[in-house]
Amino acid sequence: MAEVFARSAALYDRVKRVIPPIEWPVFAGDIEAILDLKRQRNAVILAHNYQTPEIFHCVADIVGDSLALARKAMTVEADVIVLAGVHFMAETAKLLNPDKTVLIPDAQAGCSLADSITAADVRLLRQRYPGVPIVTYVNTSAAVKAESDICCTSGNAKAIVEALGVPQVIMLPDEYLAQNIAAQTAVKIIAWKGHCEVHERFSPADIRQLREDHPGVTVLAHPECPPEVVAEADFSGSTAAMSDYVGQKKPARVVLMTECSMSDNVAVDHPDVEFIRPCNLCPHMKRITLGNIREALQQNRHVVSIDPGIAGRARLAVERMLAI
């Protein structure tokens, strides 16, 4: 035990506020092996803000929100990309790096938003609203992206909708994100009825209770939360925007209305901020572990591949977004 701590002291020091010492020996062996495998395979690990701290802070090379991961995926020079996140994120990385090997440690790491809509649904919407541009959240399959005009993330949705210069757009598939953006723009938005199973569970009553229990708390909410929740919050933005808010404004007490690991990951860099931690777990994000990242690198699995019949059109929708 003492030997494990001695070998990984610098890494443990970084996460000691969010990982109890009793858990560290369980993680340390996998972390060492993964760092080794990355060198052997010339691999990088991209990790979303919802990954657990031992992944986010100890093995990832690039971290961020969906937008940052997509942008940074374009600049990766390694041969292998391991996407510690959910399947649509791995597909986006593959779309932008068709010649690289992209691995997702658990192929079942899905997303309730991506599951809420099919390519056939998008084709029907196009028939129903001819000429209205289709803006598709990156939380969708490549097949759905291929039927869309342009993608967006929670970090750029307003800018994308407004950049199109049209009075009306269709925005898929997150109804609440669409409603939250509609409240900030003159562009009329036609929404779909998809919801994030993590964020739809927060309510305005939760926020009122938090304010009563923790006077002075600053409430930040992800825009996948229902509009009534966003209305009660002090700020709403993507996972990266919430993290930046904490870094820049340094609230004395904060609560992030989002996935559980987010607070742990942000807290590591802000020991002076008190984090109140009600949160909802994303069961899909939590499928990714150090153990299956290690296996992914050892056994080259699960390789992400995209049907060539849809990859070109899906890539175009992502690239149009990145160009704005």
216: left (phi over 0), alpha (psi -120 to 50) or beta: left
What residue 261 binds from ligand SF4, ligand 13P, none (CB within 5 to 8 A, per partner kind)?
Answer: none
Smallest Cα–Cα separation from 142: which of 99, 88, 81? Answer: 88
Q: Is 265 annotated as a binding residue?
A: no
21 or 283: CB nearest ligand 13P: 283
Q: Is 137 annotated as a binding residue?
A: yes
Instruction: Choose, by CB under 6 A, the member of 30, 54, 65, 91 that binds ligand 13P.
Output: 65
DSSP one-letter string for 205-235:
HHHHHHHHHSTT-EEEE-TTS-HHHHHHSSE
8 or 265: CB nearest ligand SF4: 265
| Residues at the contact surface with ligand SF4, assessed by CB under 6 A | 86, 111-113, 139, 196-198, 224, 259, 282, 284-285
- Number of other residues whose CB lies within 10 A of the CB of residue 118: 15
27 or 56: CB nearest ligand 13P: 56
Contact 223, 230 (CB under 8 A): yes
Amino acid letter, residue 41:
R
| Contact positions with ligand 13P (CB under 6 A) in 254-293 | none
Q: Is 152 annotated as a binding residue?
A: no
11 or 262: CB nearest ligand SF4: 262
Task: For 161-273, list the strands marked E by DSSP.
Answer: 168-172, 188-191, 218-221, 235-236, 253-257
Q: Supply the minimum distance, in Å, between the C-beta of residue 86 and ligand SF4.
A: 5
| Contact positions with ligand 13P (CB under 6 A) in 135-164 | 139, 153-155
Using CA atoms, how far apart are residues 57 and 172, in angstroms rounded to an integer?
Answer: 32
Q: Is 245 annotated as a binding residue?
A: no
Q: Is 66 annotated as a binding residue?
A: yes
Whether omega for the bond prior to residue 48 falls within 30 degrees of 0, making it cis, is no
Q: Which residues pair with 101 in a beta bridge?
A: 80
| Contact positions with ligand 13P (CB under 6 A) in 300-319 | none
Q: Supply the minimum distance, in Å, between the C-beta of residue 277 and ligand 13P.
A: 17
Q: Is 111 annotated as a binding residue?
A: yes
Q: Write out the binding residues for [4Fe-4S] cluster.
A: 111, 196, 282
Q: Which residues are annotated as a binding site for iminosuccinate?
A: 48, 66, 137-139, 154, 222-224, 239
